[in-house]
Amino acid sequence: MMTSLNILITGASSGIGVAAARLLTSQGHRVVGTCRDPSSVPDAGFSLVAMDQADPASVTRGFAEAKALLGAIDVLVNNAGAGELGAVEDTPLKAARRLFEVNYFSAVELTRLCIPEMRARGAGVIIQLGSIVHSLQFPFKAQYCASKSALTGFSLALRHEVEPYGIRVHVLEPGWVRSAFHARLEPVTPPGSAYADRLKPFMDYRRDADPRVIDGDGVARVIAETIANPKAPVRIAVGADAKKFFRISRFLSHEMVDKLVGWKLGRKSGV
């Protein structure tokens, strides 16, 4: 029987976050989740605090509230994230900065705030929700790819700093996850955009109805298994497509990966 842990999970109003919070609560852990509006998740089954990942002041306030509820934080799961769909040329830099606040800087700040007590106790687990796009980039998601790559690079460097103090750092790298995440995206398509026709195929979210694609509950199980396993890998492919790519990527040159991406994009565009 695993010792009950105090766990903080960001982005716990839907999808992976709420699934992980409920699963870990059912396993006997004390969980606090964050979301912009806790009242939007009635009967969550776990405590929620308000935190807007795009607002640094809100991140600081939300962390203080979560810590007051939990006391010591044994596990941090940086799950909250935002997506994008649009050409770099069409996307204002302001939108890119906001994406980095949500996907990168808020995770970095929460990680930084959790480390001192974890280090003092000689134990802690930090799980970052990265993405396959760190290794397999797609057009019209350039800033998203950059933000997830930044989080992965940060985490891989961080682990060397904190490992001597008993702190584990893991990066989960899912491929497509079946959820409402994609349907909530607002494509950036200004009038007269040179990219409008090429962008349309990327607005096809039929995979969200494919039961073979991993969903939030599936990712939540990986999170729980990672927490429970002190020998879990640092980088963890999540979902069948990510696992398949990780297996074959070690045998692929950069040129071969480019051809693979081109082939996938050709299929998506019907070329």
Which CATH number goes with the domain that contains 55?
Answer: 3.40.50.720
Question: For residue 155, is it within any domain?
Answer: yes
Kindly state whether residue 1 falls inside one of the protein's structural domains: no
Domain ranges, residue 13: 6-245
Structural domain contains residue 214: yes
Does residue 269 lie within any of the structural domains?
Answer: no
In a domain, 67, yes or no: yes
Specify if 264 maps to a domain.
Answer: no
d(CA 126, CA 17): 15
Across the beta sheet with 124-129, the strand order is 47-50, 30-35, 6-9, 75-78, 124-129, 167-174, 235-238
Displacement of CA 153 from its chain's centroid (Å):
14
Query: Residues 249, 222, 203, 89: is their CA dihedral positive or negative?
Result: negative
Q: Is 165 one of the catalytic residues?
A: no
pLDDT of the residue at 271? 43
Strand 47-50 relative to strand 30-35, pairing: parallel
The number of folded domains in the chain is: 1
Q: What is the pLDDT of residue 265?
A: 67
* Segment-wise mean pLDDT, segments of 10 residues, the chain, 271 residues: 88 96 98 96 94 98 98 97 96 96 98 98 98 90 96 98 98 94 90 94 89 96 98 96 86 77 63 43
The set of residues, in sequence order, having a beta carbon less than 8 Å from that of 134 and lying 6+ positions away, is 145, 148, 149, 152, 173
259 in any annotated domain: no
* Active-site hit among 104, 144, 165, 195: 144
Q: Is the CA virtual torsion 211, 216, 218, 219 positive or negative?
A: positive
What pTM does this model have? 0.93
pLDDT at residue 258, as a whole number = 76
- Does a structural domain hold residue 250? no
